[in-house]
């Protein structure tokens, strides 16, 4: 199938793009990588009257580390996030997650901002943004605002961005010293969307006990899900199996998955517990045992 007719705009600057978004409002869609939007248009699931192509807005493509944070432009492709030494040194979890996004052709074209704005609860970037408590910068012709990723997502394919706003940047905190991470994803084939995914980071003190922890779940809730109870459970832990199992149970209780052809709600909830335990064992450096 092909999309219905639409007007096409290709701004060369952010200011021009913001003016177009303000002029057309909810009749317009922003085209970043297009890996999801073009397919939805072809299936008539999205029918914008105006398509605003951001691919010529060079100022939205950047990766820089400053003031204890990693700042990433919204038009930064997945592939640079995977291979950039700056990204790997500042927050290695981002490089690890980027490897799992689709196939190489998709990683060469898709963008981090496009994935976040699309807000698929099974996608990798929304999950890692929520897990790491990233901040998203939104701009319009009337101003700039910053939102925590944990506040940005409202439901499947739904965010707090206004129709006249453009997501311009994502800011991740630099990984603390003595921190470890893990990312586990369940999918039927490499490159498929996740049935369930779990990302975590554990920061250890000098004695090897957890002084901070964060864990997020994707694919098993209406939005990417941060599970704050995990930090309480793991506080002071050295990765004892009892604490890891309790954390898995807590993550499964927090998730409210739906069911589809890829897995029932009960199956997804069970996999949340399993992948949480695997991820935490990995982060603590423990061998895997049956979950």
Q: Which tens digits make up the pLDDT trace of 167-225?
A: 999 999 999 999 999 999 999 888 788 999 999 999 999 999 999 999 999 999 999 99
Token couple for 165:
């706003």
Q: Which residue, of 113, 143, 173, is where some domain finishes?
A: 173
Q: Of the candidates 173, 205, 225, which is a domain's last residue?
A: 173
Average pLDDT over residues 110-132: 97
In angstroms, how far apart are the furthest CA atoms of the chain? 63
- Say whether both 27 and 86 belong to one domain: no
Beta strands in 1-126 (DSSP E): 7-9, 28-31, 50-53, 63-66, 69-73
For 40-97, write each residue's pLDDT tens digit.
999 999 999 999 999 999 999 999 999 999 999 999 999 999 999 999 999 999 999 9
Are 159 and 219 contained in the same domain? no
Is 2 within a domain? no
**What ranges make up the beta strands (E) of the chain?**
7-9, 28-31, 50-53, 63-66, 69-73, 135-140, 143-148, 153-155, 158-159, 166-173, 179-186, 196-204, 210-218, 225-226
* CA pair distance 250, 232, nearest whole angstrom: 11
Strand partners, 170: 72, 136
CATH number of the domain enclosing 101: 3.30.465.10
193 and 134: one domain? no
How many Å apart are CA 96 and CA 128, to the nearest integer? 10
| pLDDT for the residue numbered 51 | 96
Question: How many structural domains is the chain composed of?
Answer: 3
| Structure-block tokens of residue 64 | 């820089």
For residue 289, tell me if it sits in a domain: no
* 290 within domain boundaries: no
Q: What is the pLDDT of residue 290?
A: 67
Tell me, yes or no, whether 266 lies in a domain: yes
Q: What is the CATH number of the domain that holds 194?
A: 3.30.390.50
Cα atoms in the 13 Å half-sphere on the side-chain side of 278: 17
**Domain identity same for 213 and 275:** yes
Cα separation, 220 vs 215, in Å, equals 14
Sheet holding 50-53, edge to edge: 7-9, 50-53, 28-31
DSSP symbol at 262: T
CA distance linking residue 254 with residue 269, whole number of Å: 9
Enclosing domain of residue 185: 179-284
CB contact at 8 A, 43 and 71: no
* Average predicted confidence (pLDDT) for the chain: 95
Share of residues in the chain with pLDDT > 70 (%): 99
The Cα-based distances of 4 to 47, 49, 73, 88 in angstroms read 7, 9, 31, 42
| Calpha distance 3→251 (Å, rounded) | 40
Beta carbons of 71 and 85 less than 8 angstroms apart: no
| Residues 196 and 280 reside in one and the same domain | yes
In a domain, 154, yes or no: yes
Residue linked to tokens 């096409």: 8
pTM to 2 decimals?
0.94
Whether residues 102 and 186 share a domain: the answer is: no
């Amino acid at each position: 199938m092909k999309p219905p007719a639409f007007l096409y705009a290709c701004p060369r600057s952010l200011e021009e793009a913001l003016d177009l978004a303000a002029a057309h409002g909810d009749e317009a869609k922003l085209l970043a990588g297009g890996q999801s939007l073009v397919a939805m248009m072809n299936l008539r699931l999205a029918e914008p009257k105006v398509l605003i192509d951001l691919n010529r807005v060079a100022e939205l493509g950047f990766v820089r580390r400053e003031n204890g944070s990693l700042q990433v432009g919204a038009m930064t492709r997945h592939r640079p996030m995977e291979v950039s030494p700056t990204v790997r040194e500042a927050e290695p979890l981002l490089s690890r997650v980027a490897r799992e996004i689709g196939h190489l052709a998709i990683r060469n074209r898709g963008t981090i901002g496009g994935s976040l704005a699309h807000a698929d609860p099974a996608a990798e970037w929304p999950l890692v943004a929520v897990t790491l408590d990233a901040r998203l910068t939104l701009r319009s012709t009337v101003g700039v605002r910053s939102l925590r990723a944990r506040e940005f997502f409202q439901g499947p394919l739904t965010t707090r961005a206004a129709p006249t706003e453009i997501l311009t940047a994502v800011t991740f905190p630099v990984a603390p010293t003595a921190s470890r991470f893990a990312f586990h994803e369940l999918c039927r084939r490499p490159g498929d969307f996740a049935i369930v995914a779990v990302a975590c980071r554990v920061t250890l003190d000098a004695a090897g006990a957890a002084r901070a922890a964060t864990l997020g779940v994707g694919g098993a809730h209406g939005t990417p899900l941060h599970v704050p109870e995990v930090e309480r459970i793991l506080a002071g832990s050295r990765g004892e199996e009892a604490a890891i199992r309790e954390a898995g149970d807590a993550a499964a209780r927090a998730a409210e998955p739906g069911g589809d052809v890829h897995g029932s709600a009960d199956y997804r909830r069970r996999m949340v517990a399993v992948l949480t335990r695997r991820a935490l064992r990995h982060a603590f450096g423990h061998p895997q045992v049956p979950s």
